[in-house]
Amino acid sequence: QQQVKQSPQSLIVQKGGISIINCAYENTAFDYFPWYQQFPGKGPALLIAIRPDVSEKKEGRFTISFNKSAKQFSLHIMDSQPGDSATYFCAASIYSGTYKYIFGTGTRLKVLA
Amino acid sequence: DTGVSQDPRHKITKRGQNVTFRCDPISEHNRLYWYRQTLGQGPEFLTYFQNEAQLEKSRLLSDRFSAERPKGSFSTLEIQRTEQGDSAMYLCASSSGGVRGIFNYEQYFGPGTRLTVT
């Protein structure tokens, strides 16, 4: 019940295309859902995040769509660029004395030039 | 650069040796987290500090692991009698306590320390 399931494991997109990564969770107590971008050899960098009282959040080319009833959320990268090639992790945060993150298994995105 | 620094960036050690990693969080952040990330996986929570108090430890944190955060500033993570299974990236993250009662959920990660146990 504490897991966050992420798909696909890898994704190849043409430059200018839309990249879509999906995550699903079971525990309805999760109340914060960030997405992180990680380049090889680097730590994860916060990209965008959403609370469950909002169905969509957009920041530049990145959009999170949130479906509370389905317990799913997704990251959309519009106009994907080769520089977006990285591993993306979704996460969910649950309060149990502290807000620790539970991460998905990651999606390796490659954007072809 | 998030402002969270970790040292060293890479550590190679022989099985059975002790290693210690350091994390310097963003200066005004009172919460500090340690995560472990193995190849092809997402980070997994290890432990958490609020100021100098260690408030939670994951069951992943065996007795060979110890973490400290003296004076609520930097933190150290020590692994005693390292095993090959300890090989991973150890990530530190920090977050602020929030402003005027509004909790700040955002965690900012450092570059990590990659540990290889031979």
Please provide the DSSP assignment of A11-50 as one string. EEEETTS-EEEEEEE--TT--BEEEEEE-TTS--EEEEEE
pLDDT at B5 over 80: yes
Nearest-CA distance A103 → chain B (Å)? 5
Which whole number is the average pLDDT over B18-38?
94
Report long-range pairs for A64-73 (Cβ below 8 Å, ≥24 apart). A64/A33, A64/A35, A66/A33, A70/A24, A71/A24, A71/A25, A71/A26, A71/A28, A72/A22, A72/A23, A72/A24, A72/A25, A73/A22, A73/A23, A73/A33
Confidence label for B28 from pLDDT (cuts 50, 70 and 90): confident
- Contact between chains at A46 and B106 (C-beta distance less than 8 A): yes
Q: Which helix (H) or strand (E) holds A102?
A: strand A99-103
pLDDT of residue B61: 86
CB neighbours of B100 closer than 8 A, spacing ≥ 6?
none
pLDDT of residue A1: 60
pLDDT at A10 over 70: yes
pLDDT of residue B30: 87
As a whole number of angstroms, the distance between CA B42 and CA B111 comes to: 14
Q: What is the DSSP letter of A92?
A: E
- Contact between chains at A93 and B2 (C-beta distance less than 8 A): no
Measured CA angle at A36 (ends B62, B36), to 5 deg? 15
Report the mean per-residue pLDDT for chain A: 93
pLDDT of residue B98: 62
**Closest by Cβ to A99, choosing from B44, B105, B110:** B105
Provide Rg for chain A, Cα atoms: 14
- Contact between chains at A103 and B112 (C-beta distance less than 8 A): no
Pairing between β-strand B108-109 and β-strand B31-37 as defined by DSSP bridges: unpaired
pLDDT at B94 over 70: yes
Nearest-CA distance B110 → chain A (Å)? 6
Report the mean per-residue pLDDT for chain B: 91
Q: What is the DSSP letter of A82?
A: G
The least confident of A41-55, A71-85, B25-39, B87-101 is: B87-101
Q: Which helix (H) or strand (E) holds A56?
A: strand A56-59
As a whole number of angstroms, the distance between CA B20 and CA B43 comes to: 19
As a whole number of angstroms, the distance between CA B6 and CA B76 comes to: 10
pLDDT of residue B99: 55
Per-residue pLDDT reduced to its tens digit, B39-73: 889 999 999 999 999 988 888 888 999 999 998 89
pLDDT of residue A107: 97
Per-residue pLDDT reduced to its tens digit, A44-77: 999 999 988 899 999 999 999 999 999 999 999 9
* Six token digits for residue A85: 């090639």
Which whole number is the average pLDDT over B81-93?
96
Q: Is residue A35 within 8 angstroms of chain B, CB to CB? A: no
Percentage of chain B lying above the pLDDT 70 cut? 92
Closest CA to B93 of B68, B111, B73: B111
Residue in chain B lying closest to A107 (CA): B40
* Six token digits for residue B15: 């099985």
CB neighbours of A68 closer than 8 A, spacing ≥ 6?
A52, A55
